[in-house]
Amino acid sequence: MSDLSTRLGPIQFENPVLVASGTFGYGTEAASLTGAARLGGIVTKTLTIEPRRGNPPLRLHETPGGLINSIGLQNVGVDRFREEKLPKLRELGVPIIASVGGKQVDDFVEGVRRLSDAPGIAAYEINISCPNVKNGMEFCQRPESAEEVIRSVKKVATLPVWAKLSPNVTHIGEVARACAGAGADGLTAVNTFVGLAVDLESRRSVLPFGTGGVSGPAIFPLALAKVREVVQATEIPVIGCGGISDAAAALAFLLVGARAVQVGTVSFREPDAASRIVAEIDRFLEEHEVSQLEDWIGSYED
């Protein structure tokens, strides 16, 4: 077996495959079916201070090569997560990344503060880029606002802080540099692309919210280009995300410089897809006589 370990700042992961926020529940649902204990790490559903019911249905719409979602950050809130979800999640024995969202800067700060002494969390992923809630992308569309959120969170954070970036910006590299300058310890790139599905009979959007977030294999080449831009723009660790359904896609993100990846939409179709991809990466590296993942990461040549 190859050495699949990867380090993101102070955190050592046994392998580079994590699951993306919002696509894997709280991580404990049907853990034996998903192979959750074999993953590099689990990113939780995005947590807000107060519980959220999310957007009204219809929330999901299949599209060629992908999925449009408009969940609206439904979650139990940070307090119930600490009390009810986190203890079971810790039993899996993998690093836990708590995704934190909010409507205003103080919400992110308070969410992180309430999780600061919760045992078992390895890092915070600050979701400044959700496209299917009101004002969800407000914080990521200007470097200054992204910087304000991350700088404010860093003042209370006791663990590494990752910023989750949106692809729906003109220059993602500028936002990445702003987050890095504000003290971010890592960058997750990218969240979903804004998309629209319409019903020809009613002449309205299929989703009551209007637009939604497009994910799945269709966005892979778009996300890969964004990740490459982020890697080139900063020197802090990057976690690649967007359209991964097999080891080839995961290895492409790692090749262009991401130090880890997040698997998302494919988990709806194949619950243990992420654990399968771990095995596929190992097999690929062994077949290509790459003894350690570190030698593969960032070996892309323009």
Distance, CA of 47 to CA of 119 (rounded, Å): 16
Q: Within the chain, which residues score under 50 in pLDDT?
A: none
The 3-state secondary structure of the chain, one letter per residue: CCECCEEECCEEECCCEEECCCCCCCCCCCHHHHCHHHCCEEECCCECCCCECCCCCCCEEEECCEEEECCCCCECCHHHHHHHHHHHHHCCCCCEEEEECCCCHHHHHHHHHHHCCCCCEEEEEEECCCCCCCCCCCCCCCHHHHHHHHHHHHCCCCCCEEEEECCCCCCHHHHHHHHHHCCCCEEEECCCEEECCEECCCCEECECCECEEEECHHHHHHHHHHHHHHHHHCCCCEEEECCCCCHHHHHHHHHCCCCEEEECCHHHHCCCHHHHHHHHHHHHHHHCCCCEHHHCCCCCCC
The catalytic position among 130, 140, 179, 241 is 130
130 belongs to the catalytic site: yes
Cβ atoms within 10 Å of 37's Cβ, excluding its own: 13
Distance CA 47, CA 54 (A): 12
pLDDT score at 136: 62
Looking at CATH, the fold of the domain delimited by 6-55+70-194+216-295 is given as: TIM Barrel (3.20.20)
Tell me which amino acid residue 77 is.
G
**Which pLDDT value is given to residue 180?**
98
pTM: 0.97
Using CB atoms within 10 Å of the CB of residue 60, give its burial: 0 to 12 exposed, 13 to 18 middle, 19+ buried: middle
pLDDT of residue 29: 87
How far is CA 127 from each of CA 61, 251, 263, rounded to the nearest angstrom?
A: 22, 24, 16
Between CA 62 and CA 207 the distance in angstroms is 11
So what's the pLDDT on residue 289? 97
Q: Domain boundaries in the chain?
A: 6-55+70-194+216-295
Show the tokens assigned to 223. 């996300």
Q: Given this model, what pLDDT does residue 219 score?
A: 98
